Chain A
Amino acid sequence: MKILVTAKRVEDPESKIKVDAAGKGIVKDGLKYKINPFDEIAVEEALRLAAKHPGDVVAVSIGGKEVHEQLRHALAMGATKAVWVNHEGPLDQMGVARLLQKIVEKEKPDLVILGKQSIDDDQNQVGQYLAEWLGWGQATFASKADSLDSENEKNKVPGVIVGDGAKTVDVIREVDGGLNRLRLTLPAVVTTDLRLNQPRYASLPGIMKAKSKPLEEQTAQGLGVDVAPKITVTKLSMPPARKAGIKVPDVATLVTKLKTEAKVV
C-alpha cells in the first residue's frame, strides 16, 4: 500500500525562542530546526506499515529550500520519495490542508499519516481539514495499545493495524479513562499522538541512500491552490516570567505562608 506522510520543519524546542520587535513572529537568528516530532512519529509508523504491506512512503514538506533537510531526514529513515512544495511566506492551516489535498490527489495514497499538530503553532487542524475536503474517514490522536517499553514496540510492530487486503485500518485512540478503537475504510487520514511509537535513528546506509532518492518540486501556483491566509497572527507574546521562589526558615513559616499567601491550605 502507498502511504503519504508529512515532514514539517519546526524550531528545535531547546533553541532560545524570542518574540520579534513587531510582536507578531519570532526571531529566527541562531535557531536550530528539526522535523516536527509528531511527523517523525508519522514517518516511523508509515515505515513499519510499509514493511508489512509493501509500497511507497512519500514524505511531503512545505517551505523554502531549507525544508530539504527535513525531507532528507524522512528519506534517510526509509521513505522512498519526497515532495517539496516550494513556498515562501505566510500560510494558515487551511492553506496547508489545500496544498496537501492536491498532493494527495496526484499521489493517490491509500493512507495519509500526519502529526496531530506541529510543535510550533500547536493548531491541530490540518489532518481534520484534509480528511473533510478529501471526503475520507479520519482518526485523530492515534496511540498504541501497548506501552512504549513493550516487546511489540521493541519489535517495531505498528500501532495502526491495516486489515486483510488493505481495505480497512484500525486505530486506537486514548480517551478519558480508556481506549477507543476505530475501524476506517481506506483511503483514510490518521493523525499521530506521542504514544504511538518511538522513531528510529536513520541508519548510515539509509542516510547515504537518501541523497539519491527522488525529490519532486511543486508550487502552490502549479498546484492551482490559492493560499492567501484567512487567518493572521495579530499578536505573539512570551509567557509571563515566573516569580523567583523564596526560602523559609522553618516548617511553621511554611505553613503560615501556605495559608496566608498561597492560600492552598
Chain B
Amino acid sequence: MGLTDGFPADFASTDADDLATYGRDWTKVYAPAPSLLVRPRTTGEVSEFLKRCHATRTAVVPSGGRTGLAGGAVAKDREVVLSLERMRAMSSVDTLALTLRVEAGAVTEAVHQHAAKSGLTWPVDFASKGSSQVGGNIATNAGGVRVIRYGLTRQWVLGLEVVLATGEVLELNGALEKNNTGVDLRQLFIGSEGILGVITQATLKLCRLPEKTDVFLFSVPTLQHVLELFEAARQGPFTVSAFEFFTDRCLARLMRHRKVKAPFDAGSPFYVLLEVEAASAPLEPWLQALFETARVTDGTQAQNAEQARALWAYREGISESLSATGLPHKNDIALPVSGLKTFCAELETLLAGRYPGWELCLFGHIGDGNLHVNIMKPDALDQAAFLQATHAVDADLMALVRAHRGSVSAEHGIGLLKREWLGYTRSPAEIALMRQLKVIFDPHGILNPGKVL
C-alpha cells in the first residue's frame, strides 16, 4: 500500500508551490525541499498516515503555522510535511471550568477571539498570533509578550491528544487541573518540537480578560536605564503585564516597512513598552519619579484602546519589519533577570568589538530575561559570507550566555538552527536522556529527524 492510498483526493499534494511554501518556516536560511505535503482532517487520518510512515521509515515534519524562527518546521531533506492546518475546530468554551478543547491547527488569534466572547482569554500571546497555530505553540512551548505576567504555554495546557510515530493515539490528562498519578507524560510533549509525537488536540486552560490595562511607551537613553526602568516598574503600584524594549534601529526599520510615524518628536536610542494591570494608586507620583531620576526622557500613555493598539504595533511589528527590509541573523537568548545588568554591559562590548559598524537590532521581553539579538546583513556582503561571519560571533555570544548561566534559545526552540549550541545550556547527561526518550517514543526516528538532538 502506498503512503497515501485510500485517503481523500486532496489529502496529499506534490504541487511545487505547495512544497516550497510548506517546506519552510520564518527561518529564511534553509531551502525548502519536501517530497510531499499531507493535510489530514482527523486524528484517525494522522494515525493511519504515521503508521505507514513508521513502517516505511519515512521522515515526517509536523507543521503548524510555520512562524518558528529556529527551523523546527523546515523540510529540507525530502521529508513529508504533515500540516495540521485543516484540523482547526474549537469546542464551545466551558465557562465553569474555564477550558476550551481545540484541534491543533486552530490559529492562536482565532482562539483568543473565540474565548473573548465569554470574557476569557488563553494568555499565550505574541506578534505572530495571526498565523501561529495552537499545536505549534504547544510543541514549542511558545513564549511571547505576556510571559512576565502569565508564564509560558506550558502553564495553559491541561490536556493533550498526541499521535505517536507508530500511529498510537494517546489522551494525556484530559481536562484535569489536578492529577497526581505518576509521571506527567503530557509535559514531555510540550516544547518537544515535534520529535516525540504529533499533537492533534489540546484542552486549553483559560483565564479572565484583564479589566483595564494601561499602556505606556517611554524614550530611554541607555540599556542600563531600560533595566533601571524595569526595577522601578517592579516596585510600581500595579501588576506588570508586559515589559518590552526595542532600539531606534528596530523602530527605523519598522517605520520604513509599515509606513508609520515616529512615536515622539525627538528620537531616542531605546524605547520601552510597559503594560500594567490594575493600578492600585494614582500613577502620577510613580511617573513623576521616572522623569526626576532621568530614567526616561519622554513618554506617552495610550488615551484609548486605539492608541494602545498603535503603541503595541511599534513593538509587535519589529520581527516582521526586520525580515521584510533585510536579512536578520537572529539570536534569542535568555538570562537570569538578576544578572541582566552585567550581562548587557558585556554584550554591548562584545557586539561593538565583533561587529564594528554593523547594524544591530536589539529588542525583546527583557522583563523575563529574554533578549532578541538581531544582526542585519550588510548590503555589501553576500549571504554565505554573512552567515559565516555571524556564526563565528555566535560562538562568543553563546560562550557569554553560558558563562552567565543563560539559555541559548529562550523561546524560539532549538530546531535546526541552534542544534550545535544545545550543549551550552543543557548538560551531556541531560542530552543523553533526551536521546533515550526519543528512541522510546519514536524507535525509527521518523519524526522531525535532524531537529533538536
Binding site for B on A (CB under 8 A): 12-15, 32-35, 69, 72-73, 76, 149, 156, 198, 200-205, 207-208, 211
Residue of B nearest to A200 (CB): B265
Interface residue from B287, B304, B309 paired with A204 (Cβ < 8 Å): B287
Interface residue from A14, A35, A202, A204 paired with B291 (Cβ < 8 Å): A204
Residue of B nearest to A73 (CB): B303
7 contacts between A and B (CB under 8 A): A34-B305, A34-B307, A76-B303, A201-B311, A202-B303, A203-B264, A203-B299
- Given A14-B309, A205-B291, A208-B287, A32–B301 Cβ distance below 8 Å? no
4 residue pairs, one from A and one from B, having the closest CB atoms? A34-B304, A201-B300, A204-B299, A32-B305
- Given A204-B216, A205-B291, A14–B305 Cβ distance below 8 Å? yes
Cross-chain contact A34 with B306 (CB below 8 angstroms): yes
Cross-chain contact B309 with A202 (CB below 8 angstroms): no
Binding site for A on B (CB under 8 A): 216-218, 259, 261, 263-265, 284, 287-288, 291, 296, 298-301, 303-307, 309, 311
Q: Chain A residues near B288 (CB, 8 Å)?
A: 208
Query: Assuming A204-B298, A204-B301, A207-B301, what are 4 further A-B pairs, CB within 8 angstroms?
Result: A35-B303, A156-B265, A201-B311, A204-B296
A173 to B296 CA separation, bound complex (whole angstroms):
40
- Mostly helix, strand, loop or mixed at chain B's interface? mixed
How far in angstroms is the closest Cβ of chain A from B117? 10
How far in angstroms is the closest Cβ of chain A from B88? 17
Q: Which of B216, B259, B284 has the most CB of A within 10 A?
A: B284
- Given A14-B309, A208-B287, A208-B288, A203–B304 Cβ distance below 8 Å? no
How far in angstroms is the closest Cβ of chain B from A206? 9
Residue of A nearest to B299 (CB): A204
Residue of A nearest to B296 (CB): A204
Cross-chain contact B304 with A32 (CB below 8 angstroms): yes
- Given A205-B291, A208-B287, A35–B304 Cβ distance below 8 Å? yes
Q: Chain B residues near A14 (CB, 8 Å)?
A: 305-306, 309
Q: Chain A residues near B307 (CB, 8 Å)?
A: 34, 201
A204 to B290 CA separation, bound complex (whole angstroms):
10
Q: Chain B residues near A33 (CB, 8 Å)?
A: 304
Residue of B nearest to A207 (CB): B301
A207 to B264 CA separation, bound complex (whole angstroms):
14
How far in angstroms is the closest Cβ of chain A from B316? 16
A205 to B219 CA separation, bound complex (whole angstroms):
13
A51 to B218 CA separation, bound complex (whole angstroms):
24
Q: Chain A residues near B298 (CB, 8 Å)?
A: 203-204
Q: Chain B residues near A13 (CB, 8 Å)?
A: 306
Cross-chain contact B300 with A204 (CB below 8 angstroms): yes
How far in angstroms is the closest Cβ of chain A from B18? 16
How far in angstroms is the closest Cβ of chain B from A227? 27
Q: Chain B residues near A72 (CB, 8 Å)?
A: 303
Cross-chain contact B304 with A201 (CB below 8 angstroms): no
A15 to B116 CA separation, bound complex (whole angstroms):
13
Cross-chain contact A34 with B303 (CB below 8 angstroms): yes
How far in angstroms is the closest Cβ of chain B from A63? 15
How far in angstroms is the closest Cβ of chain B from A246? 17
How far in angstroms is the closest Cβ of chain A from B296? 8
Q: Chain B residues near A201 (CB, 8 Å)?
A: 217, 263-264, 300, 307, 311
Cross-chain contact B304 with A202 (CB below 8 angstroms): no
A76 to B306 CA separation, bound complex (whole angstroms):
16
Interface residue from A34, A35, A156, A202 paired with B300 (Cβ < 8 Å): A202
A76 to B216 CA separation, bound complex (whole angstroms):
14
Cross-chain contact B284 with A12 (CB below 8 angstroms): no
Residue of A nearest to B264 (CB): A201
Q: Chain A residues near B287 (CB, 8 Å)?
A: 204, 207-208
Interface residue from B284, B301, B305, B306 paired with A202 (Cβ < 8 Å): B301
Q: Chain B residues near A32 (CB, 8 Å)?
A: 304-305
A34 to B264 CA separation, bound complex (whole angstroms):
21
Interface residue from B259, B291, B296, B305 paired with A12 (Cβ < 8 Å): B305
A208 to B303 CA separation, bound complex (whole angstroms):
12
How far in angstroms is the closest Cβ of chain B from A189? 26
A207 to B302 CA separation, bound complex (whole angstroms):
10
Q: Chain A residues near B296 (CB, 8 Å)?
A: 204
How far in angstroms is the closest Cβ of chain B from A28? 15
How far in angstroms is the closest Cβ of chain A from B216? 7
Residue of A nearest to B282 (CB): A211
A149 to B259 CA separation, bound complex (whole angstroms):
9
A262 to B346 CA separation, bound complex (whole angstroms):
65
Residue of B nearest to A198 (CB): B261
Residue of B nearest to A74 (CB): B303
Interface residue from A73, A149, A156, A211 paired with B304 (Cβ < 8 Å): A73
Interface residue from B217, B264, B284, B309 paired with A208 (Cβ < 8 Å): B284
- Given A201-B264, A204-B298, A205-B291, A211–B305 Cβ distance below 8 Å? no
Q: Chain B residues near A73 (CB, 8 Å)?
A: 303-304
Residue of B nearest to A77 (CB): B303
